[in-house]
Amino acid sequence: MLKSIIEYQDYHQYILDYYTEKKRTSAFTWREFAKVAGFSSGSYLKLVSDHKTRLVQDGAHNTALAMGLQDFEYDYFMLLVQYENAKTDQQKKKCFEEINLITSAHKVKLLGSESYAYYESWIHSVVRELAPAMPGAKPLEIAKAIRIPVTAAEISDSLDFLVKNKFLTIDENGNYHQTDKLISTGRLDFVSIPVHSLIRQMGEFALQAFDDLPISERFFSGLTMGVTEKSYQQVIEELKECRRKIFAIVSAENEVEKICRLNTQLFPLTKKIKKRAPEGLTNSEV
């Protein structure tokens, strides 16, 4: 039995599941499916289901109608397509909010909605680390322990959110505990929007720390280098491994003395350099 589209976050998967269900009960083919949806290529929707291409507005409209989607299910399908095709975080955020309105209205839990809210504010990630390290501390005490100005009310709201969504638990003595050592965004594309925002916020805090803190309390370093695509990917893998090792180091400690943020950045400063023939040689001689 095919689930409702609003239980999906990936319209490619829904198209595949729709086809599989139709195929199970009839002699349905990809060619027939494409023809009903108005595509000249009989394999186009198969390519879409395999994530090898994507739908655009008109194609999405025709595909939704071919699958019999109406009302809010049609709107939801179109929003998934718009979300994937959105060029900016602002456009993606608008689509996500409309998607969330539809799922909420129909009592469907949108996978990743808690993580979305978690990453929308830098306060949650700091409080999640700080509250367990300060047993018995009140919101005002936690607020005063944070270098960036924040109110006791904001800390209280964050604690409520973290407990409600099971990022933290609270015991009978009023002490907070992490439910997991590590939080990962996994493959939830919706979460990428607030994560981008969080990275920007933390980048701003890094610049502030650069100006405000003595060298003994901060570490800033950089390297400008020429790379190939191969070495660039190797460096990325090394950075990922370094991140894992750092997490293992801090996870081995049972006590926390302060909360720190590690920003790891690697990005190109130039466009891709086109190869030029050495002087005196033609391109065919290189």
Q: pLDDT tens digit string along 55-68? A: 999 999 999 999 99
Assigned domain for 131 exists: yes
- The predicted pLDDT at position 285 comes to 43
Q: What is the mean pLDDT of residues 98-105?
A: 87
pLDDT given for residue 122 in this prediction:
92
Q: Do 149 and 239 reside in the same domain of the chain?
A: yes
223 in a domain, yes or no? Answer: yes
Among the residue ranges 66-70, 161-165, 238-242, 253-257, the one predicted with the least confidence is: 253-257
pLDDT surpasses 80 at 70: yes
Tell me how many degrees the CA angle 162-164-170 measures, rounded to the nearest 5. Answer: 70
Shared domain check, 244 and 147: yes
Domain match, 133 and 72 both? no
Confidence class for position 286, pLDDT limits 50, 70, 90: very low
pLDDT at 220: 92
Last residue of a domain, which of 94, 110, 126?
Answer: 110
Tokens encoding 286: 């290189």
Domain membership of residue 267 (yes or no) is: no
What is the rounded distance in angstroms from the CA atom of residue 148 to the CA atom of residue 144? Answer: 9
Tokens representing 177 are: 């505990």
Q: Clarify whether residues 137 and 66 are in a common domain.
A: no
Q: Are residues 195 and 97 in the same domain?
A: no
Please indicate, yes or no, whether residues 179 and 217 belong to a single structural domain of this protein.
Answer: yes
Sign of CA dihedral 119, 124, 130, 135: negative
Cα(191)–Cα(111) distance, integer angstroms: 10
Residues 59 and 30 in one domain: yes
Helix (H) or strand (E) holding 178: strand 176-178
Q: Closest by alpha carbon to 57, among 86, 30, 32?
A: 86
Answer with the residue of higher pLDDT: 108 or 212.
Answer: 212
Q: What is the per-residue pLDDT for 149? A: 93
SS3 127: helix
Residues 158 and 232 in one domain: yes
Mean pLDDT, range 157-182, rounded to an integer: 91
> Are residue 125 and residue 231 in the same domain, yes or no?
yes
Helix (H) / strand (E) element for 197: namely: helix 192-212
* pTM, entire model: 0.62
Residues 105 and 131 in one domain: no
Give tens-digit pLDDT for 9-59: 899 999 999 999 999 989 999 999 999 999 999 999 999 999 999 999 999
pLDDT of residue 277: 62
Mean pLDDT of 88-114: 81
**Which range marks the domain in which residue 40 is found?**
5-110
Q: How many domains does the chain have?
A: 2
Any residues with CB less than 8 A from the CB of 237 and at least 6 apart, and which? Answer: none
Of the candidates 95, 134, 174, 175, the residue with the CA atom closest to the CA atom of residue 257: 134
Which tokens hold the place of 119? Answer: 């990453």
Question: Is residue 282 in a domain?
Answer: no
CATH number of domain containing 87: 1.10.260
Query: How many CA within 13 A on the CB side of residue 166?
Result: 4
Same domain, 76 and 142: no
**Residue 227: pLDDT band with limits 50, 70, 90:** very high
Measured from the Cβ of residue 38, the count of other Cβ atoms closer than 10 Å reads 14
In a domain, 257, yes or no: no
Contact 103, 116 (CB under 8 A): no
Burial of 92 (0-12, 13-18, 19+ CB in 10 A): buried
- Give a yes or no: residue 63 inside a domain: yes
Q: pLDDT at residue 283 above 50?
A: no
Q: Is the pLDDT of residue 186 over 60?
A: no
Name the domain boundary from 66, 83, 110: 110
- Which position has the token pair 């390290």? 133
Same domain, 24 and 89: yes
The whole-number pLDDT of residue 124 equals 93
The last residue of a domain, from among 91, 110, 129: 110
pLDDT averaged over the chain? 88
What lies within 8 Å, CB to CB, of 196 at 6+ separation is: 89
| Tens of pLDDT, residues 102-143 | 988 887 766 566 777 888 889 999 999 999 999 999 999 999
pLDDT at 267: 87
Residue 130 lies in a domain: yes
The set of residues, in sequence order, having a beta carbon less than 8 Å from that of 34 and lying 6+ positions away, is 40, 41, 42, 43, 44, 45
**Partners of residue 169 on adjacent β-strands:** 177
Interval 88-93 mean pLDDT:
85
Q: Residue 73: inside a domain, yes or no?
A: yes
